[in-house]
Structure 1
Amino acid sequence: MSKQARWSTLLELLAVEGKLDVEQVAVAVDVSPATIRRDLDELAEQRLLVRTRGGAIAHGVSYELPLRYKSSRRASEKRRIAAAVADLLSMGDVVGLNGGTTTTEVARALALRTRGGAGVSGEGHSGPLYTVVTNALNIAGELAVRPQFKIVVTGGVARPQTYELVGPLTAGVLSEVVLDIAVLGVDGVDPQLGVMTHQEDEAGISRLFAERARKVILATDSSKMGKRAFARICGLDRIDSIVTDAGIAPDMAAKLTEAGIEVITV
C-alpha cells in the first residue's frame, strides 16, 4: 500500500472512530507499527490530526477531513446523486454551487451531459449552455476549460480543507447575482434545525446562495440525515428538493416530505 493510500485509510478511520491506536491500525493496514508512527507524525505536522501516546485523535471538536481525503467516501452514492441533480437542471440555467465532494460530482455530471449525452447536445446553441456561479476553486478549475459553461467565481479567502472561498469579498459578489437554482452540499440535515455545516464562514456563504436562488436543491448522501453540525445555513422552509441515496430512513423522508420538500432517492 502506498503512503497516500495509507494516509487516506488512516484519516478515514479517524473520521469514523475519533481516535487511532498504533498497534490496532498496523494490523488493520498490514504494515509495521513503526510505519504507522511515522505516518501519524507526518499527518500531525500537517495539522490533520493530533498525536497522542500510542496513537492519535481527531484535530478539534468538529473534525473535518480535507476534500482530497473525503472524495472516496460513499463515492458511488455521490455519483448517483450528482447525476440525478444534473437531470433537474435545464439549459440556460444560472446555477450556484457551493463547495464539497457531492457538488463537485454535480459539476462533473453536468459537464458530461453537455458532451451530448443524456439528451443534451447543445445543437443550435452558440453560447454557453449553463452559467455556473461558485465559490469552490476546484469546481471552477474543472469547468473553466469547457466552452459550454460560463463560470463566475466569487472572490474571497480560500479554505484549504474544502477549496471554498469565504468572507466579505465572496458575499459581495453573491449579493450582486441572481440564481435560478442553488445546489448545496451540507454536513447535517435536521427536521427542527434545518441544514447545517461545520464552519460558520461557509454557512454564511451557503445561506447567501440559498437567498439568491429561485429554487434550492440539497445534494447530500443519507449519512447526513438527522445529523447536526455547528453552523446553521437555513431552515427547511428554504429548501425545495433533496436528492439523496436510498439509505435515508423512512421516518426522516416522511418528515422532510411533511415539511413540503420533494425527496428524490437514487
Structure 2
Amino acid sequence: MTRKYERHSGLLRIVAERGQVDVAELAAALAVSTATVRRDLDQLAEQQLLTRTRGGAVAGDVAYDLPLRYKMARQAPEKSRIAQAVAELVEPGWVVGLNGGTTTTEIARALAARGDLPGGITLVTNALNIANELAVRHHIKLVVTGGVARSQSFELTGPLATRVLGEIAIDLLILGVDALDPRAGAFANHEGEASINRLMVDRSSRVVAAADSSKLGRRAFAEICPITAIDTVVTDSALPAALAEAFAATTTVLTV
C-alpha cells in the first residue's frame, strides 16, 4: 500500500470519529504539512468521501463505511497474524466460505500461499476482490456467488447471490465482521451484506469469525448471526482479558 493510501485512511478515520476537523488539526495528527492535508481533503471531497469546509472538512454520509482500499492500513500486523492462523485451520478437500473484508482478504492470500493442500479446496465467496486474487490458483476451485456489487466492499449481494448459496453446503465459513459482541453476536454495517453473510452461516457446518480486537465488544447496524452460531473467534492478543472471558463463555477464542 502506498504512503498516500495510508494517509488517506488515517485522515478519513479521524474525520469519521470527530465529525468535523480543521486543516491544522489533521496536519498535527498525521505529522504532515498543511499543504499536504489540503490536497488530500480536496481529493477525498472529489470522491464524495467527505465534505470540504472553509479551513477543514466534515464527515460525509459514507465516512462510517469507508471503501475497502482505505481500511487496509488499519491493524495490518494483527490482521496478518490472524490470517495465517485461520488459513492453517483449513483441511484439504474442504469447501470453504469466505465473505468480503480486509481481514478475509488477508486470509485469502494466506490460503493462496499454502502449498500443502493436496487435492486443493473449493472456495465460495461473494467478494470480487478475493475472487480476482484466487482465480489463478490451481489448488483452489473458485465459486463466486453472483449478485450486485457494492463499491464500498466489493461484496456481491441480492437475490442472485442468495440463489447460489441456497444450493451448496460449506464445511467451514470464515466470517469477516464489522463488529462482534459476546452477547449479541456478529454484525455488518450494511444490511445487504449482513443478509448474505447470514445465509452463508446457515449453510455452513462450522463458523470461524476472524476479526482484530478493535472490532470486538461492539455492535454495528445489521445483525449477521447470534454468538451461538460461531464456533471459534480468532483475534489478536490485544483483546482485553474481561472481553476474552465473556466470549469464552459461549465460544472458543484463539488469540494470536
1:94: which partner in 2?
Answer: 95
Give the direction of change, closer, same or farther, for the CA distance of 1:130–1:6 in structure 2 (3 Å limit).
same
Q: Counterparts of 2:63 and 2:28 in 1: how far apart (Å)?
A: 27
Aligned pairs for 1:151-170 (under 5 A) are 151-170=142-161
1:14: which partner in 2?
Answer: 15
The one of 128, 135, 159 equivalent to 2:126 is 135
Deviation of 1:34 (Å): 4.3
2:252: which partner in 1?
Answer: 262
- Residues 62 and 198 in structure 1, CA contact (< 8 A), matched pair in contact too: no
- Residues 134 and 140 in structure 1, CA contact (< 8 A), matched pair in contact too: yes
Amino acid across the alignment from 1:26: A
2:58: which partner in 1?
Answer: 57
TM-score by length of 1: 0.89
- Residues 15 and 58 in structure 1, CA contact (< 8 A), matched pair in contact too: yes
Deviation of 1:166 (Å): 0.8
Structure 1 unmatched runs, 5+: 115-119
Aligned pairs for 1:222-233 (under 5 A) are 222-233=213-224
Deviation of 1:31 (Å): 4.9
- Residues 5 and 70 in structure 2, CA contact (< 8 A), matched pair in contact too: no
Give the direction of change, closer, same or farther, for the CA distance of 1:177–1:50 in structure 2 (3 Å limit).
same
2:244: which partner in 1?
Answer: 253
Q: Counterparts of 1:189 and 1:21 in 2: how far apart (Å)?
A: 32
CA RMSD across the alignment: 1.9
Q: Which moved more, 1:56-65 or 1:96-105?
A: 56-65
Give the direction of change, closer, same or farther, for the CA distance of 1:5–1:73 in structure 2 (3 Å limit).
closer
Residues 166-218 of structure 1: per-residue CA shift (max 9 Å, x gap): 11111111111110011111011112321111100010011011000000000
- The alignment partner of 2:45 has SS state of helix
Deviation of 1:6 (Å): 3.8
TM-score by length of 2: 0.93
Q: Counterparts of 1:188 and 1:23 in 2: how far apart (Å)?
A: 32
Aligned pairs for 1:1-266 (under 5 A) are 3-29=4-30, 31-60=32-61, 63-114=64-115, 120=116, 122=118, 125=119, 129-259=120-250, 261-266=251-256
Aligned pair count reads 255
Q: Counterparts of 1:168 and 1:231 in 2: how far apart (Å)?
A: 18
Q: Counterparts of 2:63 and 2:228 in 1: how far apart (Å)?
A: 26
Amino acid across the alignment from 2:174: V
- Residues 15 and 65 in structure 1, CA contact (< 8 A), matched pair in contact too: no
Give the direction of change, closer, same or farther, for the CA distance of 1:161–1:229 in structure 2 (3 Å limit).
same
Structure 2 unmatched runs, 5+: none
Give the direction of change, closer, same or farther, for the CA distance of 1:189–1:5 in structure 2 (3 Å limit).
closer
Identity %: 55
